[in-house]
Amino acid sequence: MKTLLRFVVVLGVLVWSSAGEADSADKVKAGVVTGHSRGLHGYIGYSASHPPGRSDYSAGMGFYSAVWPLIAEPIANFQIGLPSAWITPNNSDNKDKPLAPIGTLARDNWPERGPTWDSVFQTVEGGLGYWARNRFRYGPPKFSMNATPQCYDYEVGSPGWSFFYSSEALPDNRLGIAQLSNRLLIPPDALPFEGNPNGKFLGYTYMALPFTRPTTVDPPTGDQAWTCFLSAANFKGPIAYYIPETWSKIGKLFNYPFIYGRGLDARPGNMGGGAMEINTVPRFDAQDAQGVVYSKLPKLQFPVDGQGRTLLVQDVTYYSKGALYDAFKSWRDGGPACSGRFDDNIAWKSTLTTRTTRFDQASKKITGVEKVFNTKVFASNVWGLEWYDGTAGANGFFPQYFKHVGDERVAVSAADVPAETQLLTKKFRLAGRGKPYTSPTTGAWSNPGPARGPFKVTLADGSMVTYSWYRFVDQPSFQQYKWSDEKKAKLQSFVEKIHAGWPINRDYMAPPSRGTLATLDPALLVTPPAGLEVGYVPIVTHQEDAEK
């Protein structure tokens, strides 16, 4: 979710202020409520210890993250990620040479990231959350695969689309994710859940797997296909992977050979911890009869157990190539079949640490939140929140009201907000339904094109998804590469073995140490048509509001 750090201010409508007007409430009369976008910012996070011989445990990273409805209703201009993590290529040997070429967004606009720009070179940062540009809000969060392969010039969020920035599919030469599962749809607006998973867990792990061999052509490309595995109550296994060329082609595009071999296709992965990224939250401001300004946020809720705890992340694990890569490669090359299970005997269970979060509102420090809750690592390296307000066995709530005292925003209760401010009854605008996601009828989507379809299904978020069945190597993401018929045939044959041998009810990740698994929207689960049982994948081509 780091890709959205530059979108701190979301333009509002009507009374919503611009950034320059964010603190001008003293110019209006008591009871006049103004809307603003910079309501809350901060990272509720944890750090994860790295194993000895760090590069030996860099072929996979995963954990179980809590799933819950952070807000009771879908709020417009709202973006907060639930606990997620970032993976970047390990370029620690490079101390001073830029990884971001001149002409990329990061290099030309973020000098503070220099001299190497390693933190914004390439990232895998998908996870659970709410995004300001989601088109089909429904209450609970969603899960999305998100990555930035080219210094934040663009993002890849699904087999056809970006990170919710456009209703149109990515250009053919920027498609980056290969759909692997033949049992699960991956909609462009992300994966919804069934019901109200209030504190249940979703497991996900990114594993670097060698579907293809490394190449020495221009651009030279490694064999690491970062593959997303999920562990939910009704689906377990890999859903998709980033094609290795997604990471390597930046060097050729910018004629910058220095970065050959430095992308996620070839380098060990880094994951230093994780966080809830609080990014875009609306707020209301108003003043009382004495001219004191107060502000209001949407009500943010957290599941709290009987011991006054919110358990957010557990079982943070790093994997070496021995955990799956080696057996997978042997199977690809004609060896014995690989079950896909991660070998936990050669995995590293991380030790977690945390610290009090610094929150701000329009760059002004927020105080008082630490009196309501604080971050904590509980027994068995479970990270979460400890509540001090007596909350137990119900929902805990982030402070919703703040009194402006000098340069600080002091958390206060609703009872301390003067009625004449009109804040207590003011409601935030709900998110509307967005434009449909559309794909082209030409180019990679039509040549070679699907084998069967289209089909339609309605999801829990109220959207209707259209999809077609493509032969695996014929799906749009691969068509930008001029691979030989032999290479495509070998990959197709191998994926057919995976489809035949890896069911969706097997534990690939170890089960969670505690708690129960969340359930993905059952409408996402599909069955291949007769004759297409292996070697074909369901590619979403359109997503629209089902009520239209």
Sort residue 132 into left (φ over 0), alpha (ψ -120 to 50) or beta. Answer: alpha
Tokens of 165: 């920035």
User: Which of 413, 405, 427 lies closest to 293 in space, CA to CA?
Assistant: 405
Strands 408-412 vs 364-367: parallel, antiparallel or unpaired: parallel
**524 found inside a domain:** yes
Bond into 528 cis (ω within 30): no
**Residue 235 domain-assigned (yes or no):** yes
Indicate the Cα dihedral angle 71, 75, 81, 82, nearest 10°.
10
- CA-to-CA separations, 416 to 272, 293, 301, 408, 458, in angstroms, rounded: 40, 12, 20, 17, 45
134 contacts: CB under 8 Å, gap ≥ 6: 142, 164, 189, 190, 431, 434
Q: Is residue 425 part of a domain?
A: no
CA–CA distance, 393 with 303 (Å, rounded to integer) = 8
Q: Which of 164, 147, 321 is nearest to 246 (CA)?
A: 147
Give 318's contacts (C-beta < 8 A, 6+ positions apart). 50, 51, 57, 58, 60, 61, 271, 347, 348, 350
How is residue 275 written in tokens? 């966080």
Residue 355 domain flag: no
Residue 93 confidence (pLDDT)? 96
Other Cβ atoms closer than 10 A to 517: 21
Q: Is residue 527 part of a domain?
A: yes
Domain count, the chain: 1
What is the reported pLDDT for 426? 96
Give dist(CA 81, CA 223) in Å, integer: 30
pLDDT value for 29: 81
Query: Taking the CB of residue 226, how many other CB atoms lie within 10 A of it?
Result: 26
pLDDT of residue 19: 38
- Residue 60 has a CB neighbour count (10 Å cut-off) of 27
Burial 355-389 (b: 16+ CB within 10 A, else e): eebebebbebebbebeebbbbbbeeebbbbbbbee
Averaged in consecutive runs of 10 residues, what is the pLDDT profile of the chain (548 residues)? 33 34 52 94 92 79 97 94 94 97 98 97 94 93 96 97 93 98 98 96 98 95 98 98 98 97 97 91 96 97 95 96 97 97 92 94 96 95 92 87 97 97 96 95 97 98 98 98 96 98 97 97 98 98 92
Give me the pLDDT at residue 53, please: 63
Task: Specify if 320 maps to a domain.
Answer: yes
User: Contact 386/44 with Cβ under 8 angstroms?
Assistant: no
Structure tokens at 484: 């030989």
Q: Which domain holds residue 540?
A: 45-278+313-349+437-545
Residue 481 maps to a domain = yes
Q: How far apart are CA 106 and CA 334, in angstroms?
A: 43
Domain assignment of residue 418, yes or no: no
**Residue 491, CA distances (Å) to 1, 216, 429, 501 in order:** 31, 18, 49, 15
DSSP annotation string for 131-194: -TT-S---SS-EEE--EESSTTS--B-SSS--SSS-SBPPPGGG--EEE--SSB---TT-B-BS
Q: Is 224 helix (H, G, I), strand (E, B) or coil?
A: coil
- The one-letter amino acid code at 105 reads L
